[in-house]
Chains A and B, each alone.
Chain A
Amino acid sequence: MNAPVKKLKVATTSLAGCFGCHMSFLDIDERLLDLVQLIEFDRSPLTDIKHCGPCDIGIIEGGLCNAENVHVLREFRANCNILIALGACAINGGLPAQRNHLSLAAILEEVYHAQHGLVDGFIPNDPELPLPLDKVHPIHEVVKIDYFIPGCPPSADAIWKVLTDLLAGREPELGHGLIHYD
Chain B
Amino acid sequence: MSQNKQASFTLDGKTIPYAEGQTIIQAAMAAGEYIPHLCFNPEFKPHGSCKLCTVKANGRQTASCTQQPQPGMVVESDTTEINDERRALLQMLFVEGNHFCPSCEKSGNCQLQATAYELNMMSPHFDQFFPDRPVDASHPEYLLDFNRCILCSLCVRASRDVDGKNVFALSGRGIKSHLIVNAKSGRLADTDFTGYDKAAHVCPVGVILKKRVGFTVPIGSRSFDEKPISATPHPTVKGA
Contact = CB atoms under 8 A, between A and B. Distances in A.
Contacts of A85: 123
B101 A182 contact: yes
A167 interface: no
A148 B123 contact: yes
Interface residues of A, number: 30
B130 A97 contact: yes
A141 B128 contact: yes
Nearest to A102: B132
Contacts of A94: 100, 102
Contacts, number: 72
A63 to B, nearest CB: 10
B102 A181 contact: yes
Range of interface residues on chain B?
A: 20 to 34
A150 B122 CA distance: 7
Interface string B125-151: 101101111000000000000000000
Interface of A: 85, 88, 91-95, 97-98, 100-101, 135, 137-138, 140-141, 145, 147-150, 152, 173-174, 176-177, 179-182
Given A145-B123, A182-B113, 5 more contacts: A92-B99, A92-B123, A93-B130, A152-B102, A181-B102
25 contacts: A85-B123, A91-B123, A92-B100, A92-B124, A94-B102, A95-B103, A97-B100, A97-B128, A98-B100, A100-B130, A101-B130, A101-B132, A138-B123, A138-B124, A138-B128, A141-B127, A145-B123, A148-B123, A150-B123, A152-B101, A179-B117, A180-B117, A181-B107, A181-B116, A182-B104
